[in-house]
Structure 1
Amino acid sequence: MTVAVFEHDGPWTDEEYLALGETSQRVELFDGSLHVTPAPTPRHQRISRRLGNLLEAAAESVGLELLEAVNVRLRPGRVVVPDLVVAEIVDFDALYVEATDVRLVCEIVSPSNATTDRVLKMHYYAAAGIDWYLLVDQATGVLRLYRRQGAHFGEHATAKPGEPLALDGPVTVTVDPADLLP
């Protein structure tokens, strides 16, 4: 991937981005530019796995699918890799999931990318029409559930460790942040 990235001229297209293939880093496409972050920490991955286990059962019960770290195409030139998504049944061999099929997106906020998750991606997800956004602060364990209101997200519910958060859309599940943390 390194050679292809450094020899590339101009903005990246969806096709050029997808041609990079799988990498050990998380590579996303933001309006023609690549955004590269290192692999997640063990803490991040534990939170993701535990939350994914809870969301998966809830998603399956209403005919939805839980997916981890997949390409989500928000619009041409904008492909992100959220930590978790709850989506309509998708083509499992497709290179990306369309934002129109995503019902909930979840990001586990790392200190190195907090602004991206709390500001940039939040804006991008709302603009793409995704109705629910769940942010997990891995440092504090706080869960923040947002619901789209027009072109923006409004805070719907918040929970600290020991205070369960009840998701009521698009899946129904209760999550105690304390159960996610190491």
Structure 2
Amino acid sequence: MIPTNHGPWTEDDCLALGETDDRIELLDGSLYVSPSPCVRHQFFANGLAGLLDGPAEAEALYVLGPINLRLRPGRILIPDLVITSPIDFDAVVAPAEATRLVCEITSPSNEAHDKVLKMHYYAEAGIPWYLLVEHKTATLRLFRLDGRTYAPHAVAEPGEVLRLGEPVAVTIRPEDLLP
């Protein structure tokens, strides 16, 4: 149970909640709480991590997720997966500056959150690549940072192929991520 807080939440307040089965994100003084994702969501995340691990390792990068990602002071999100340059593995939060790609897998209850709000916050933080996986269709949408917003870079539906050249070179077939 999340304790009552009558003022804005700070990073210290948020992180003092400790580990939980819920995802607790800090958005400018407010908490956004969501339950653990469904099995299909986990299947996508595990499949992507498996496909990205080898190519990331070859580039001295790391595939992690979900982690506390500090986009700026007072704004900590928990993406489904990230590719980072080397970071402090004992830190409670990872810095956005080390993040090369962030991935969100939509859920029926949070589609707008991932497609609009989080996408905006990740772009504002300067993360170069944003990969969005649509829960219902397994469509992969890759966005490239263009200034302070993301521009569509590539799309792949089941039966098609998504090719990444940055931050890692990998080919992803959406149907390989389906249960």
* TM-score interval for Structure 1 and Structure 2 normalised by the shorter chain: over 0.9
The 3-state SS of whatever aligns with 1:112 is coil
1:148 is the counterpart of 2:117: no
Report the TM-score, using the length of structure 1 for normalisation.
0.97
1:14 is the counterpart of 2:14: no
More helix by share: 1
How many Å separate the matches in 1 of 2:30 and 2:128? 25
| Partner residue in 1 for 2:154 | 157
The within-5 A match list for 1:89-128 is: 89-128=86-125
Q: Deviations over 1:32-63 (max 9, x none)?
A: 10000111001100110001111111111100
How large is the Cα RMSD of the aligned pairs?
A: 0.7
Structure 1 residue runs of 5 or longer lacking an equivalent are: none
Identity of aligned residues (%): 54
How many Å separate the matches in 2 of 1:152 and 1:113? 20
Given candidates 55, 66, 71, the residue that maps to 2:63 is 66
Alignment-mate amino acid for residue 14 of structure 1: E
| Superposed structure 1 runs of 4+ greater than 3 Å apart | none
Given candidates 153, 167, 172, the residue that maps to 1:170 is 167
| Partner residue in 1 for 2:132 | 135
Aligned residues: 179
Structure 2 residue runs of 5 or longer lacking an equivalent are: none
Contact 1:85/1:105, CA 8 A, preserved across alignment: yes
The within-5 A match list for 1:4-83 is: 4=3, 6=4, 8-83=5-80
